[in-house]
Structure 1
Amino acid sequence: MGAVGPRVGALLAYVDGSRYPGEEHPDGTVEHEAIDPDGVDDSWRDRSRAIEAALARTLAGADVPWHFRYLAGRVDRSLTHLARAVDAAGFVVGTRAPGPGARVRELVEGSVAVHLSHHQHRPVLVVPVQVVDWKAGAARGTTG
């Protein structure tokens, strides 16, 4: 028998803040409910299918196995639970889309990457959503 190498793969997740987590399962999946108990909101099912389909198109032909989880509640807590459930090696998170709205939202809610790095032991890699050409910004006299 050969040696077993490290696990390689990606577990991609979307956290819906308009829903709250109910029962959390050992595989990282979560049963969740709408925050409004009187409203019937099944749009999350369509959103989940659309996200998974977009990921399948984007990752078609990728040589890395991947799985998708639709989570609910606070982003940092949901991702930490998922990572603990599947014994993830670390996190890769994107930055917020640029703009004043994103800055205000981050000021109020805080950064997911910062929350993750302060509340669990796994490494957190932050990847920019948009490429910034610093040379072009400097030439125009702007710094970001």
Structure 2
Amino acid sequence: MPAHEVPQPSPSRMVPVAGHPLVVGVVPGQSALVALTAAEWARAAGASQLCCAFVDGSRYARAENDDGSVLHEAIDPDGADDGWQRRQELIEQSLAEVLADCGVPWTFRYLAGRADRALTHLARAVDAAGFVVGTRSPGAGARVREAIEGSVAVRLTHHQHRPVMVVPLHVVDWKAPLLG
């Protein structure tokens, strides 16, 4: 295959869910619905575990390890954020509470960089069957951020071959007037 040709999704590249992990994208303060939906699908399909991950966009991956974890640094060395360790603890504690009785083993990774690339690296490293992510948070700030950065779910579906399940976290009332 020429160097510029990207391998495309195909039956030969499918990873069965049974016996393989699912990668779950999580963010601080996110609804428990994402992790719980991932756990339910993992249990029903026989996935081996949930690999939950938060991707910190204010840090970059200095080195990627074979297990999907990364060594990371602050993007701005003058404004080095040491709060990442506290964020990691809080997210992991929240996941422990939500997934305590889910019946599926889980792990947590604190990743860095662009979310779709970091999650894809993790999926390759653990030979994941697919991804579970939530929709963006409601509000103007989230819409602006998504317009600038793009949707993680959309970027995942366009840049790797694993299926992506998107959990709705906020729905629009179709009967509500568009203006007003």
**Correspondence 1:15-26 to 2 at 5 A:** 15-26=55-66
Partner of 1:38, secondary structure, is helix
The corresponding residue for 1:68 is 108
In the alignment, the residues of structure 1 paired with residue 139 and residue 81 of structure 2 have an alpha-carbon distance, to the nearest angstrom, of: 30
1:120 maps to which residue? 160
Structure 2 counterparts to residues 25-44 of structure 1, below 5 A: 25-44=65-84
Whole-Å Cα distance in 2 between the matches of residues 83 and 40 of structure 1? Answer: 28
Residues of 1 paired with 2:84 and 2:177: CA distance?
40
AA aligned to 1:18 is S
Q: How many residues align?
A: 135
Structure 1 residue 105 corresponds to structure 2 residue 105? no
Identity %: 63
So what's the TM-score if we normalise by structure 1? Answer: 0.86
The TM-score, its normalising length taken from structure 2, stands at: 0.70
| Residue identity opposite 1:6 in structure 2 | G
Unaligned runs of 5+ in 1: none
TM superposition outliers: structure 1 runs of 4+ over 4 Å = none
Unpaired segments ≥5 residues, structure 2: 1-17, 21-46
Structure 2 equivalent of residue 47 of structure 1 = 87
Q: Which has the higher contact order (CA 8 A, sep 6+)?
A: 2
